[in-house]
Amino acid sequence: MVQRGDTGEETQGRSYKVSTGLREQEHSPSTQRSRPLATKPKNHRSKPSLPYIMQADQLLEATSPDEREFLRNSLREAVSYFLHQDQSVYLEGLGILAPQQREEQRAEIWEEKMACRTETYRSFTFEKCSELTRYHFDRYPKLIETKRLAAKARLSLPLHLQIRWSKNQCATFLRTLIRGIRDEVVVDGCSQQLGELGALFALHNRQGANIKDWFAGADIVLSPGSNELIDAGDYRLFQRPVLQTAYEIFEAHYGKPVIDLEIDLQSKLTEMGYETAEFEKQFSKEQQSLRITGFETTDNHGSYLFCSDGLRRFGLESSGKEAMGCELTFQLRPTASAPNLLDLDSHDLVSTAFTLGWILIQSSKRGVAPAAVAMRHEAGLFNSTKSSLKGIVTTKLTSASLPQLSEEGPFFYTNLVGVTDDEMKLAEVFHAERLLALLKLKKFDQVTPLDRSSIMTRSQMMREFAH
């Protein structure tokens, strides 16, 4: 029989009882050997015994705030060290951090040209894991467990703490810290205690009676704090095209547009409940309408991409010498019951989202709609199509993330993503960046499915903010 002793080490066949002050463990009297009379006791300070893992309040009593911060920093440094040695790390009871190399096509603006190259990055992945199994050891052959992690972390501690705390005590403290990270991400939906390694985000349904049950039903994702460039190919130079329209690059990629419409901004703003008495005085006749062009994309879901044309002028006219404009895109995926968006009212599908984006541009001093901004419309994004979407959040258009050249000047694309009511609350209470991280987890950060439900449909994360 193999049991864990009070320090977390394995002991063979022991059965005796010693009080640690935190919990009791069984030992057998047969293991207590009397010291020979001729032997002098060893002259060293005995270190207090600790359990395998502590309760949070016990850690608070055993350590000061500064000491806990030293522990957090040493944990981060130790994890980072092993990851950079291409070794995976098990955060006991939480999950496995593993190094990953990935290639990206990098493009930069250089003078009047575009410089492109292939870059290799070191990043990290996260897999939720409450207990290691043979599967994990097979998948992660160089897996670092708590004992080695604690030994490395202890070396980063100040000298007085290395003297006070044994390796086993340090391991107990780290297990308790890691469990605190687990509890934080499950209860609050986010933990940033890993520092530069990244932030953990979670969605869960909180089914069950305790945090362990909630953890079991949680989707947890790591948003890496940084990606380390470790290799790069040679640059290739390309001439940057000067676009006549904002949708020209999409026409080159997807073919001729299938939708071409105009939004009467004054009428739409009035319909949405905004005051428009001064509208005609503030905007020229050309600016009072917004042209939208739509394309059927080549993905497997039959999605459509809509693009504005003309909004870049607001940014180019208001930002000085280094002026930069902005155009809006909105990507929609049809429903299973209506697989062809052309059968629906195209104006109704896009007019509210683009008008909300137009409002963001007018609200900006630079005349652009930046990424990670959310805006609500209580009546919803669509009038004639049933949907739970109640607003938008802005993000970069990943398929065209670099600034483009036009005859009027440079501009970039801001992508609009439809969000539900409780997702809007999440953005309002925390930040739109947290919402975007969760949408990315569900692959909703670029294309908006018309019939999608909230990513928090079964979650209680935001229920306290619902009223």
**Spatial contact of 59 and 43, defined as CB atoms under 8 Å apart:** no
Classify residue 233 as left (phi > 0), alpha (psi -120 to 50) or beta: beta
Do 291 and 392 fall within a single domain? Answer: yes
Q: Which two tokens stand for residue 166?
A: 């044994």
Residue 43 within a domain: no
- Looking at the predicted structure, is the pLDDT value of residue 19 above 70? no
Q: What is the pLDDT of residues 373-413, one digit of tens each?
A: 999 999 999 988 788 999 999 999 999 988 999 999 999 99
pLDDT at 115 over 50: yes
pLDDT of residue 9: 39
Average pLDDT, the chain: 85
- 117 lies in the same domain as 255: no
pLDDT over 70 at 153, yes or no: yes
Q: Which of 232, 250, 275 is the last residue of a domain?
A: 232
47-51, 84-88, 230-234: the lowest-pLDDT one: 47-51
Looking at residue 16, its pLDDT comes to: 31
> Rounded to whole angstroms, how far apart are CA atoms 285 and 16?
89
Provide the pLDDT for residue 206.
64
Nearest 5 degrees, angle CA 148-CA 153-CA 155? 105
Q: Which residues of 414-423 are buried (b: 16+ CB within 10 A; e: fewer)?
A: bbbbbbbbbb
Share of the chain above pLDDT 70, in %: 85
How far, CA to CA in Å, does 92 sit from each of 5, 53, 171, 203, 288?
17, 10, 10, 20, 59
The pLDDT, as a whole number, for residue 461 is 54
Domain contains 424: yes
Q: How confident is the model at residue 457 (pLDDT cuts 50, 70, 90)?
A: low
Give the whole-angstrom CA distance, residue 296 versus residue 332: 10
Average confidence (pLDDT) over 238-249? 94
Kindly state whether residues 227 and 254 are assigned to the same domain. no
Q: Which pair of structure tokens corresponds to residue 71?
A: 């522990």
3-class SS of residue 150: helix
Structural domain boundaries enclosing 432: 241-465
pTM: 0.75
Asked whether residue 228 falls in the same domain as residue 260, the answer is no
Distances (CA, A) of 298 to 260, 301, 307, 444, 452: 19, 8, 16, 18, 21
Provide the domain count of the chain: 3
Confidence at residue 408, expressed as pLDDT on a 0 to 100 scale: 92
Across 22-173, where does the E strand assignment appear? 24-25, 89-91, 95-110, 113-128
Per DSSP, helices labelled H in 189-333 are 211-216, 248-254, 265-271, 279-282, 312-318
* Residue 49 belongs to some domain of the structure: no
Same structural domain, 273 and 248: yes
Which residues does 265 contact at the CB level (< 8 Å), separation at least 6? 279, 283, 287, 288, 289, 290, 355, 358
Residues 320 and 217 in one domain: no
Confidence band, pLDDT 50/70/90 cuts, at residue 214: confident
Question: How far, in Å, are 83, 137, 140, 163 from residue 100 at the CA level?
Answer: 9, 17, 12, 36
* Residue 70 domain-assigned (yes or no): yes
Model pLDDT, residue 33: 40
- Of 112 and 348, which is predicted with more confidence? 348
The pLDDT confidence band at residue 49, using thresholds 50, 70 and 90, is low
Domain membership flag for residue 17:
yes
**How many residues in total does the chain contain?**
467
What is 175-199 written as a DSSP string? HHHHHHHHHHHHHHSEE-TTGGGEE
Q: Are residues 135 and 169 in the same domain?
A: yes
Output the pLDDT for position 442: 84
User: What residue has token string 């919990």?
Assistant: 23
Terminal Cα distance for the chain, rounded: 54
If one compares 461 and 30, the residue with the highest pLDDT of the two is 461
Boundary-marking domain end, from 232, 263, 287: 232
> SS3 helix, strand, coil % of the chain, rounded to 5?
35, 30, 40
Q: Write down the pLDDT at residue 42.
A: 47
Q: Is residue 429 part of a domain?
A: yes
What torsion do the CA atoms of 38, 39, 45, 51 make, to the nearest 10 degrees? -120
Tell me if 39 is assigned to some domain.
Answer: no
The predicted model gives 157-176 an average pLDDT of: 95
**Which of 213, 232, 251 is the last residue in one of the domains?**
232
Return the minimum-mean-pLDDT range out of 38-42, 63-67, 393-397: 38-42
248 and 228 belong to one structural domain: no
Identify the CA nearest to 52 among candidates 211, 184, 215, 179. Answer: 179
**Same domain for 425 and 304:** yes
Q: Judge whether 414 lies within some domain.
A: yes
Q: Are residues 212 and 246 in the same domain?
A: no
Question: Based on the domain organization, do 22 and 94 belong to the same domain?
Answer: no
Query: Which phi and psi (to 5°) does residue 337 adopt?
Result: -80, -25
Residue 180 and residue 275 in one domain? no
Query: Helix, strand, or coil here: 22?
Result: coil
